[in-house]
Amino acid sequence: MAQVNVLCPQCNNVNQVEETLDAAVCKTCGTPYVVANAANRFNTIFANARCPSCTQGFLVNRYVEAAVCPNCNQPLIVQKAIDDYKVYNDRIAGFEIRNGVLWNYTGAETAVVIPKGVTTIGTGAFSDRKDVISVDIPHTVKSIDGSAFKGCTALEAISFPGSIQHIHYSAFEGCVSLKRLYIPSSVKTIGYSAFEGCSALEYVRFAGADTKLDHHVFCECSALTRVLLPSNLESIPRGTFSECSSLTRLTIPNGVSVIGEYAFWSCEKLSYLSLPESVEFIGKSAFAYCENLLGVNIPFEIDEIGEEAFRECRSLRRVCFESYCTDIGRAAFAGCIELQEIMFPGNMSDLTLGESAFEECSALKSVNLPDGYTVTLGDCCFAGCASLSTVVFGEGIEVIPGGAFYGCEKLEKVIFSEGISAIIGDAFYNCKALTAIKLPESLERLSTRAFCGCDQLDKSFEGDWTFEADDDYSFDYMVRKI
């Protein structure tokens, strides 16, 4: 039940009673009184005041000229303190504040000044307020909770004080008029999708070194052109910059070890990218559909490139592996139609090329898999490479799988290394320019369809082989005659 202040008509002591009561008894002197009359007497004598020194509110006798603040013990003029409270109270009208948390804003002001003393802007406090243009946050605020300003489509400016420590999930999602962000060094964490869909956002600067990002923080910020990231960032999480279609270049800080899946997915204008030596893992589709990315060096420490990591990077011309990379995932570079050169160092460890890893790289002219390490090829790993003319297999390759060079119509020269034991399925299907090959002595299994559609190929070598079926393979194969 709500309580009301009353003044005892006998002893003048202040009591609090339930406002629904008709009568009550004074807790000090035991005198009975009418609650409504005692409440009116209280309101006639006492008033709310605001201390000019500590800015705290308190009750004061309006009929005295001066008083001492009960909070900071500073003297003050009573009437001025009462007037200050009225002005302040009028100013905070429209703010629902409880225990330092701003839960809701119902005011009419479009240039909002949040009152001092607020420590947290609560979940959804300004959500979908499409009339709010600017917000001034006081230095008392430490946290902006989830969806606090989500959908404030007219919000153009936000000023973060140095007290802010946490910006939670979707806090500014869909603020389509927000243009610039300065994140102070006090901010420790930024939650998922905090600025997702801020389609007018052009510039972001992190003043601190240690701010941590959750996933999709700047997803679909389609006007974003420049970002200065925290220098101690350890990872770029999933979808952080996905569909930032105006982002042209980005320097990733040294110390980042993981680039998460879809981190830069469909950043259509991204042309320059510097991967630091600290990067160890590139996730699924991390740079897929970055159609203007020209080149990439794979740093020394990377051991895995996720599936479709660079898929459809249609301007990518050169990939240089500087590392002991062991796993290039499925379709990692598929559809990179301008890719002309792949450079594998001779000192790599074991390497796995996933299914369709370089499929449809139509400008690729040669592939040289050097000696010195074991290479496992996935199905269709170079299928559809329409300009590929030369393939050199280094020692260490044991199986050429189905569809590995399917439809490489300009393939003229294939050099097989000793050590290859099987050519499976339709490995060289429809390689129309292939005229002659020399199969290695180590070859034990040869698919009957391995060279199907190679119309110019001299297949006299087939006389040395005999047909044999095997349930372990999806195609029938031949073995050497004894």
Average pLDDT over every residue of 210-219: 97
Within a domain: 175: no
Query: What pLDDT shows up at residue 473?
Result: 47
- Which tens digits make up the pLDDT trace of 466-475? 766 555 544 4
Domain-located, residue 108 = no
* pLDDT at residue 48 in the model: 82
- Domain of 469, CATH number, reads 3.80.10.10
* Inside any domain, residue 478: yes
| C-beta separation of 238 from 283 below 8 A | yes
The CA distance from 211 to 122, in Å, is: 21
Does 425 reside within a domain? Answer: yes
Q: What percent of the chain has pLDDT over 70?
A: 92
**Tens of pLDDT, residues 417-471:** 888 999 998 999 999 999 988 888 888 888 888 999 998 988 777 667 776 655 5
Q: Give the end of a domain, one of 42, 62, 90.
A: 90
Q: What is the average pLDDT across 127-134?
A: 95
Q: Is residue 112 part of a domain?
A: no
Provide the pLDDT for residue 474: 43
Instruction: Read off the pLDDT of each residue in 318-336 and give the average, rounded to a whole number.
Output: 86
Least trusted range by pLDDT, from 8-17, 34-43, 197-206, 316-325: 316-325
> Is residue 221 included in any domain, yes or no?
no
Please tell me the predicted confidence (pLDDT) of residue 471. Answer: 53
pLDDT in tens, 224-238: 999 999 999 999 999
* Number of separate domains in the chain: 2
CA 235 to chain centroid, in Å, comes to 10
pLDDT at 283 over 90: yes
Structure confidence at residue 190 as a pLDDT band (50, 70, 90): very high
Cα angle 406, 295, 196; round to 5 = 100
pLDDT band of residue 95 (cuts 50, 70, 90) is: confident
Domain of residue 49 covers: 3-90
Query: Does 218 reside within a domain?
Result: no
Higher per-residue pLDDT: 332 or 342: 332
Q: Which two tokens stand for residue 236?
A: 């770029």
- Residue with the bigger pLDDT between 350 and 254: it is 254
157 or 300: which leads in pLDDT: 157
Residue 344 lies in a domain: no
Q: How many angstroms separate the CA atoms of 120 and 140, rounded?
A: 8
Render pLDDT for 250-271 as a digit per residue (tens, 0 to 9): 889 999 999 999 999 999 999 8
pLDDT digits (tens, 9 = 90+) for 377-413: 999 999 999 999 999 888 888 999 999 999 999 999 9
Last residue of a domain, one of 21, 55, 90: 90
For residue 58, the model assigns a pLDDT of 84
Looking at 58, 90, 122, which one is the last position of a domain? Answer: 90
Mention every residue, 6+ apart, whose C-beta is less than 8 A from residue 235. 256, 257, 258, 259, 260
